[in-house]
Structure 1
Amino acid sequence: MSYHSSRWWAYCLIFAFACQLLLLVLPGAALEFQGRHLAHAPEGARSERHVENETCTFRGDPYTVDEFTKKAAVECYMYTNGLREEYQKKVCYKTRYYPKICLNCTDTQNANEADCHLPDIDDENSPLFRAFRTKAIGRLWANCVREAIACCQYMRYAPRRTDGVYCNRTWDGLTCYEDTDANRNVSKVCPRVLYIYSKPHCEYYSTRWCHENGSWYRLMNQQRTFYTSCAPKPWVSGEYIGVYHYSIGLFTLSVLSLIPALVIFNWYKSLQVPRITIHKHLCFAVMMCGVMYIIDHSVFTLDDVKPTKYTKNLTHLNTWWCKLLSVLNRYFMVSQYTWMLCEGCYLHRLVALAFSKQMNLKFCYVFGWGLPAVLVTIYSSLRATQSDDRCWRNIVVYDYTFTGPILACLAVNIFFMVHVIYILVTKLRQRNVNDTENFRYSTQPCFWLKFLKRCANVIYCSSYPPRWLSG
């Protein structure tokens, strides 16, 4: 094999690594959007007068600070999705007990005063807080109220404009708008309270129009803020079922291909060598990860994308066994990369440290299976205490507990690859042709094994559906 052909398969190896790293870090998020009032924040007919330093404007109407705070708490609660099943459509806001929020009431069933509570964003044990599925959702409501209070402080104390025509500062129920030049369309980042489970990767914006006469846009005598763009692009659930069937098919093909490989590795005694032992554990980790994803997609994901009247709503039930499946899924996903690093380290030693002592496989066992267990245990503890919802299938910030080490494993493997390529190129440039040929033929199988493994991982990763479609 010539020097140029050696460079060719080295470049292929680098390309395979780059593809794998790209597939891992592609952004994706399981976006949850509050389903009510997508087009605008509902508003009554309001004037746009304002009493400086004494009141705060809520949709163009002035309120005292205390009235403003209570109204903001009620409105934020109204637009925070995520109530428990028993409170769905059983919360009343505009009753004779206002500004209290009443639970266990409907349009036909009057509110009981004992079930009506003043909104208190600092008491996470209050009935209003406990009415949400998780405390994390309740905190989104509390943060919405705090943003309204901060907006009120801005309206009271920020210096007022004295030049030109402009629309007055106001709180629209979800977002704070500053003094805005006339004849201008102003955009604001969509409020976090609309996304109750996970923040979207990309920022979405609400819009408000300020007319040339210095008044906010109205429709049917109501101020309007358009939140249509805050919603994800509408899609029909059923049209993506085929994507998941395709994904399940690829995972199944991968698992079925790995089974005979593992049988061969264990059957022949001549293959019971350290290099094959490490590769055997890697294949087992990849196979089990595929099995976990097949179960996850078959049981949960396909159920999630069904029309509402046909779904069993398994993800929202948040049972212990679905959390266990999620934990096992992540455990075997991490173990793929830890064993991949073990194999990369072993092959690196064969080339870079050819005369060093044989690697102790006990270290590989501890690192390959033990480290993922530690990482997943930490992740499980954080999810159980901080974000215990949706069977732990949605993407949250705590995922960095294991995605960070995964990226580190890939980075170290890339370092091993670059270092070995450097050694090979150095050897190939030496004058002793016979020694060079012997060295090339002795290391070529290791590199082809590494290259084929990376190609297999790229194909395997391509069977994953987009993360924003998964639970």
Structure 2
Amino acid sequence: MEMLCRDRYGSFPLSVFKVWSCTMCYSYLFRDSMELRADMPKPQLVAINGSRYPPGTVFYPDIQNTTIARAVCNSLDDFNCGRWTSCCRRAVECCEEQNHDPPPSFEEDEYCPRTWDGFGCFKDTRRSGVAVINCPTYIEHSNPAADATKICTENATWFRDPASKQEWTDYTNCVLMQNFMTLYKVGVACNAISLILLLPSCVIFMAFRQLRVQHRIQLHTCLFASFIFTNGVMICWDSLVYKDRLEKPLEESVMHINTVGCRILYTASRYAWTCNFVWMFLEAFHLYRLIVHAFKVPKSLKLYFIGGWVSPLIPVVSYAIIRGVRKDGSCWVHHAGGFEWLIYTPNLLCIMANFFFLGSILWILLTQLQSHPNEPSSYRRALKATFILVPLFGIQLVLVIYRPPQDWTGSFGYEILVKVVSNTQGAIVALIFCFLNGEVHSNIGGVIPMTMKRGPLRADIVASNSMSTQCTTDVARTHQVRNGGGSLTDNKANYIALSTIDKDTPNGMYNRK
């Protein structure tokens, strides 16, 4: 005799239940927003106008029939296909559990029967009790660490919704929209803070000729520009697409409509992030090259500019073409499987290379840099270099490379960490390499009227010779050590600008070397 399986609408033979439950999974998950519709009360899906299938085409969605399952998945992207198939498989597992689990030890009128409710599987539950399951991962925006509950009434029947008169389960705790809104606010705030600091930094770098002619400052400016581009694009994405999806029903959201502008904005965000990684790599490579090939400074940075702005187009354009050919929906935000490595690979290679460059630079600082009696030890200099170069090289991003399982209790805190670490990098490097940079202070101080230079403020400016200037001066001195001496000021194209504030100059005047 064929097994009977119960759901909220009654008990069905296994062969019927498999088709019925898959039909309902499709209907519950996508709410008539896809190319197929559940033809209630029949256990079938029907193609509508605009579908890739002729209107009226009928499918009986049995997950164990690979041909039918593939045909249904063709109406979905890979992400949603995975959600739907997971729901169908869980329904079949629930049916098997209903038939294989031993019967309850109490009387039939003392409990609510085991059942499949369309999303979850519930065991026999005593009357006036509450059945609890973990929130299914295939529910959109679900938090698997939260619980869904189903009430068994005093009459030993499952609670019914007063409006629909159907058995009802409380899944409201599974999707905490407030958490997603918090992530939106944190992301926009971090991006805005970075923009507020990055924009004036670029203006300062370009306003003073002594700064803008240096290769180091030109590279910093390009890196800052890539951060500005990324922060701006992410604010647009979060405000126009992400927030829209949180506030509107699925079928009305920009993400579901999958507009051309939405896909262009998503592609721009992938390009911006890739530019960030490449420019961080170029910063690290340039510094490492200067240490290894002392005083052999490149005459031009054209190759750097091409590498920083043009090379990211290769993987990003390839990725966009593939997503377009696949006709992926949802603004391409869902995972594209192996094709994602077109973007991941160059970014990871940049981070790996920067680890090598940082280690090599610190090793040289510790082993080959001669200490002056009045200067900090090599270890202190290495510590300063680490503090400065880690955000410049993007090493801190390794903290957010691995994404823990969704059912981890700290997943929301991790998402906050991702937002902060990723979106405040621009603000940190702007502070270190511009606003706290003694060389920048000396140039700005040169345009301040002399009357403003007298007094306590002047002393503060003199004392602010930055760690970034000191650290990179140490690197310049490393060139000297590795090449057997020579003045640090002999090469005007050196990595470090040497017209910094001299604390020993009488009357607080500048020492223009």
- With the shorter chain as reference, the TM-score category is 0.5 to 0.7
Q: Specify the alignment match of 1:461 in structure 2.
A: 423
Structure ID, larger Rg: 2
Contact 1:80 1:141 in 2 (8 A): yes
Q: Specify the alignment match of 1:175 in structure 2.
A: 120
Quick one: distance in 1 between partners of 2:348 and 2:204?
27
Partner SS, residue 161 of structure 1: coil
Q: 1:204 to 1:72 in 2, by over 3 A?
A: same
Q: 1:403 to 1:385 in 2, by over 3 A?
A: same
Q: Specify the alignment match of 1:337 in structure 2.
A: 277
Unaligned runs of 5+ in 2: 50-54, 397-419, 427-513
- Asked if 1:416 is matched to 2:357, the reply is yes
- Asked if 1:323 is matched to 2:292, the reply is no
Q: Specify the alignment match of 1:292 in structure 2.
A: 233
Q: Which residue of 76, 87, 104 corresponds with 2:25? A: 76
Q: Specify the alignment match of 2:52 in structure 1.
A: none
Matches within 5 A, 1:350-369: 350-351=290-291, 353=292, 355=294, 364=304, 368-369=308-309
Quick one: distance in 1 between partners of 2:220 and 2:185?
33
**Once the two structures are superposed, what CA deviation does each residue of 1:30-63 show, in whole Å capped at 9, x if it has no partner?**
xxxxxxxxxxxxxxxxxxxxxx863223349432
Quick one: distance in 1 between partners of 2:358 and 2:335?
31
Partner SS, residue 76 of structure 1: helix
Q: Specify the alignment match of 2:147 in structure 1.
A: 205
Q: 1:291 to 1:305 in 2, by over 3 A?
A: same
Contact 1:262 1:283 in 2 (8 A): no
Q: Specify the alignment match of 1:140 in structure 2.
A: 83
Note the C-alpha offset of 1:412: 4.3
**Once the two structures are superposed, what CA deviation does each residue of 1:108-141 show, in whole Å capped at 9, x if it has no partner?**
xxxxxx8483433544786x777x6757535533
Partner SS, residue 176 of structure 2: coil
Note the C-alpha offset of 1:263: 3.3
Quick one: distance in 1 between partners of 2:183 and 2:372?
57
Partner SS, residue 173 of structure 1: coil
Partner SS, residue 194 of structure 1: coil
Quick one: distance in 2 between partners of 1:169 and 1:438?
71
Contact 1:281 1:339 in 2 (8 A): yes
Partner SS, residue 62 of structure 1: strand
Partner SS, residue 148 of structure 2: strand
Q: Which amino acid aligns with 1:424?
A: L
Q: Specify the alignment match of 2:220 in structure 1.
A: 279
Contact 1:244 1:302 in 2 (8 A): no
Contact 2:284 2:393 in 1 (8 A): no
Partner SS, residue 288 of structure 2: helix
Partner SS, residue 29 of structure 2: coil
Note the C-alpha offset of 1:389: 2.5
Contact 1:207 1:227 in 2 (8 A): yes
Quick one: distance in 1 between partners of 2:57 and 2:391?
65
Q: Which residue of 168, 171, 178 corresponds with 1:227? A: 171
Quick one: distance in 1 between partners of 2:374 and 2:294?
16
Contact 2:354 2:393 in 1 (8 A): no
Q: 1:414 to 1:134 in 2, by over 3 A?
A: closer
Q: 1:411 to 1:204 in 2, by over 3 A?
A: farther
How many residues align? The count is: 384
Q: 1:53 to 1:364 in 2, by over 3 A?
A: same
Note the C-alpha offset of 1:227: 1.7
Quick one: distance in 2 between partners of 1:80 and 1:441?
57
- Asked if 1:54 is matched to 2:3, the reply is yes
Matches within 5 A, 1:402-413: 402=343, 405-406=346-347, 409-410=350-351, 412-413=353-354
- The higher relative CO (CA closer than 8 Å, separation ≥ 6) is in 1
Note the C-alpha offset of 1:155: 4.0
Give me the CA root mean square deviation: 5.3
Q: Specify the alignment match of 1:21 in structure 2.
A: none
Unaligned runs of 5+ in 1: 1-51, 106-113, 465-471
Partner SS, residue 224 of structure 2: helix
Q: Specify the alignment match of 2:94 in structure 1.
A: 151
Q: 1:300 to 1:171 in 2, by over 3 A?
A: closer
**Once the two structures are superposed, what CA deviation does each residue of 1:83-120 show, in whole Å capped at 9, x if it has no partner?**
34898xx86513xxx33456779xxxxxxxx8483433
Q: 1:255 to 1:302 in 2, by over 3 A?
A: farther
Q: 1:343 to 1:181 in 2, by over 3 A?
A: farther
Note the C-alpha offset of 1:393: 4.7
Q: Which residue of 49, 52, 63 corresponds with 2:12? A: 63
Q: Specify the alignment match of 1:117 in structure 2.
A: 58
Contact 2:38 2:44 in 1 (8 A): no
**Once the two structures are superposed, what CA deviation does each residue of 1:172-191 show, in whole Å capped at 9, x if it has no partner?**
22223457799985543333
Quick one: distance in 2 between partners of 1:320 and 1:236?
25
Percentage of identical aligned residues? 21
**Once the two structures are superposed, what CA deviation does each residue of 1:198-237 show, in whole Å capped at 9, x if it has no partner?**
x657543323467999x67545897553322222245897
Note the C-alpha offset of 1:282: 1.9
Q: Which residue of 353, 356, 380 corresponds with 2:320? A: 380
Q: Which amino acid aligns with 1:388?
A: D
Greater shift in the superposed pair: 147-156 or 175-184? 175-184
Quick one: distance in 1 between partners of 2:27 and 2:351?
46
Q: 1:115 to 1:148 in 2, by over 3 A?
A: same
**Once the two structures are superposed, what CA deviation does each residue of 1:347-372 show, in whole Å capped at 9, x if it has no partner?**
23444x35486579677456534553
